[in-house]
Chains A and B, each alone.
Chain A
Amino acid sequence: MKKLFTVMAIVLLASMLLSACGGGAAPAASGGAPDCTKAFCIGDVTDVGHVDDKSFNQSTWEGVQKAKTDGVADWVQYIETADSKDYAKNIDTFAQAGYKIIVTTGFNLTDPTYAAAKKYPNTMFIGVDQFLSKDKDHPDWPLPNLVGLVYNEDQSGFLVGALASMMSKSHSIGGVFGTDAVPPVWRYGEGYRAGAAYEDKKNGTTTTVTNVYHSDVGFDKTFLDPPWGATTAQSMIDKGADVIFGGGGATGNGAVDKAAADKVLAIGVDTDQYYTLPEADAYLLTSAMKPIPGPLADLIKLAKSGKFPNTGLYYGTSGYAPYHDTAKLVPANVDAEMQALLKGLSDGSIKTGVPPVKPQ
């Protein structure tokens, strides 16, 4: 037995050393959760992955946290999903604890969120990037307690397309995308084309737009193929393109990085990629934005004040990111035109002409 204690003592000591090294890294345990049947609590169920994924899970959690710092929510909490069969269980965990709003992240949670909204009619659900319509799988849509936060990606694409066309010296621009079977991706791409055409018409130029969608591989690969993004961008650059729009997860990032490495202007997607692709900063012109935190926090505010939209969908604002390091390259008249376009798109005086889904 003596030996046993010695060994246990060593183990204890080792782990204390460990604590000295790793202390403070993890989030503090969250005692102090209020009684959510009374307080205004918001729960966030992530898609499979982590809340700090530099992508949708992270942006959504930032939006939920913003609701707390804005004083809208008393308490916010997330559950990271480890396996897709846990979606329903994770939503249940919040609903049964009395959470008032449950936010779910990404289109994979569309059906579980719809089912949960029917099961818990007194809980409000926000599905980030979840586009629904009335069909045989969702006969009761729109539900009064379920709103999908969606975006007009064609408008963001339109803006960066217009900018690319005005900035291009060779009048040849390219776009490298994930599969066009995903409607938001297709809307980015066609918006990009439409924006370039709009400026061409206005300025009397002719810009060649080369859009390539990575539709030749499966859904599991199409957004995760940086080498393909890089080689595709390379071949566009070789043919004279001098602005490259990378739209589609890691695949698009590969294109953006490649363009920047070749000292060609690049355009990011979804968030301001100045912060997520630092290697490309010097040549990152802008990013086609689909900002989640702001619109999500607005939507939460509406929900709390009893003005939750009953149309089933809520459109987040579209836009483009600041030029950052490339600001000195953008002439004042181009910048003025961009601001006019943004205004025109948001008040409806300019239309992109891109339908919501690809015509079959």
Chain B
Amino acid sequence: MQKSEEQGFAKTLGQIRDAMLVPLLAIVTAIILGGLTIWAAGGDPIAAYKGLIQGAFGSANSISETAIWATPYIFAGLAVAFGFKGGLFNIGAEGQISLGAVVAALIGYALPGWLHMSIPAFIHIPLAVGLGMLAGAIWGGIPGALKAYTGGHEVINTIMMNYIALNLTSFLLNGPMRDPNPLNLSARTPEIALSARIPPLFNIPGMRVHWGFIFALLIAVLIWWILWKTTLGFEIRTVGANPDAAKYAGINVKRTIVITMAISGALAGLAGAIEVTALNYRHELGFSTGYGFDAIAIALLGKNNPYGVILAAFLFGAMRNGGTRMQFLTQIPADIISVIQALILLFVAADAIIRFIYRIRARQEQVVLTRGWGG
């Protein structure tokens, strides 16, 4: 990483351009194809996209809702991206999110009762969020340890851990943690105490965007810093690039794998904990289904870069949020959003299609060079 500052800056710009070109073209192509699908089904694609954009950015409130959607996507996208950087595929974000939410909810509603006292917010919030994060870290760390010390593949084990987490959550929300209100017909916890709630950013009724969103952005910066400015990050990336070389270079590969998965799980746990403490104020079965899987798409679209993840999370959040207005204005089912997302993912994953359509030469070598060994 020895390079002069100006040269580095120009290079960074070029790198950003190169890195963003394929994802941007993938998005554009997916939107065109999505539009054609709408048109083919008898809808008006222009009206649909107008509704989508209006719904996502048309007013201060809709931007606030987009940020709300983006928040868990940023955390979960970072979780998956962090794993990818270490050469690990964390499919378990779904379960880690769920456990993070359960623990945050439990601490949120039950702790004051256990201690027989009210807890000030500056202790209660960090405790709820922190323990939720810890739950995610443990849930991610277990498959990490299995991978490091027994060779059990993390893809299989994170999927298995998902089943355990989701069924455990189902048991807890239906049983010991269920809201005891006799009118409650759902599998959900009681509401968390006021002292455990992360406040909204603005004191405007109806505007729900909360400090958890700012926190997500800060965490993204922190993850970037860890990955590219610390020894740990260097080790993680080296293990990701080539575990054998890393081992030869004296890096403790096993330890690094466990740490990578634990941090990845912690980030996913945060996604759940923040949703509970800042938005829903309780955990409910059915909430957050699919975030952990959307996160894989977000990480890929963001090229596993924390800032890329923020942008990708925003895009996905905007589409999910704008879908309502699109449906309201045109009666086009919001499922079309899933089609567009799937197309984006297809084009990002199989970027040869995009390179072929738009005649872009692959410049992968250069990216790899500058990333690893300083050009």
Which residues from chain A sit less than 8 Å from chain B, CB to CB?
Answer: 3-4, 7-8, 11-12, 15-16, 18-19, 22-31, 33, 48, 50, 77-80, 82-86, 89-90, 92-94, 97, 107-108, 110, 119, 131-133, 135, 137, 181-183, 217-221, 357
Q: Check B324 against A86 for contact (C-beta < 8 Å).
A: yes
User: Which bracket fits the contact residues of B?
Assistant: 35 or more
Q: Check B40 against A23 for contact (C-beta < 8 Å).
A: yes
Q: Which residue of chain A is the closest to B172 with respect to CB atoms?
A: A218
Q: Which residue of chain A is the closest to B170 with respect to CB atoms?
A: A218
Q: Check A27 against B37 for contact (C-beta < 8 Å).
A: no
Q: Check B286 against A24 for contact (C-beta < 8 Å).
A: no
Q: Which residue of chain B is the closest to A92 with respect to CB atoms?
A: B206
B357: chain A residues at CB < 8 Å are 4, 7-8
Q: How far is the CA of A12 from the CA of B95 in the complex (A)?
A: 41
Q: Check A220 against B285 for contact (C-beta < 8 Å).
A: yes
Q: How far is the CA of A220 from the CA of B321 in the complex (A)?
A: 25
Q: Check A93 against B332 for contact (C-beta < 8 Å).
A: no
Given known contacts A135-B181, A137-B181, A220-B170, is B323 in contact with A82 (CB within 8 Å)? yes
Query: Smallest CB–CB gap between B191 and chain A, Å?
Result: 8
Q: Check B333 against A89 for contact (C-beta < 8 Å).
A: no
Q: Check A4 against B359 for contact (C-beta < 8 Å).
A: yes
Max count, chain A CB within 10 A of own CB: residue among B41, B48, B329, B332 = B41
One of B146-154, B182-190, B216-224 contacting the partner: B182-190
Q: Check A4 against B358 for contact (C-beta < 8 Å).
A: yes
Q: Which residue of chain B is the closest to A217 with respect to CB atoms?
A: B174
Which residues from chain B sit less than 8 Å from chain A, CB to CB?
Answer: 32-33, 36-37, 39-44, 47-48, 65, 68, 170-171, 173-175, 181-183, 185-187, 206, 279-280, 284-287, 320-321, 323-325, 327-334, 356-359
Given known contacts A108-B186, A218-B170, is B286 in contact with A84 (CB within 8 Å)? yes
Query: Smallest CB–CB gap between A106 and chain B, Å?
Result: 9
Q: A79-B324, A220-B286 are in contact. List 13 more A-B contacts (CB 8 A).
A: A4-B359, A18-B37, A25-B42, A26-B332, A28-B43, A29-B332, A30-B331, A80-B327, A85-B279, A89-B65, A89-B321, A218-B170, A219-B187
Q: Check B287 against A15 for contact (C-beta < 8 Å).
A: no
Q: How far is the CA of A24 from the CA of B93 in the complex (A)?
A: 39
- Can you list 17 pairs linking A and B with CB atoms under 8 Å apart? A4-B359, A8-B357, A16-B40, A19-B40, A26-B42, A26-B333, A27-B42, A28-B42, A29-B332, A78-B331, A79-B327, A84-B287, A92-B206, A107-B185, A218-B173, A220-B174, A220-B187
Q: How far is the CA of A11 from the CA of B68 in the complex (A)?
A: 35
Q: Check B334 against A80 for contact (C-beta < 8 Å).
A: yes
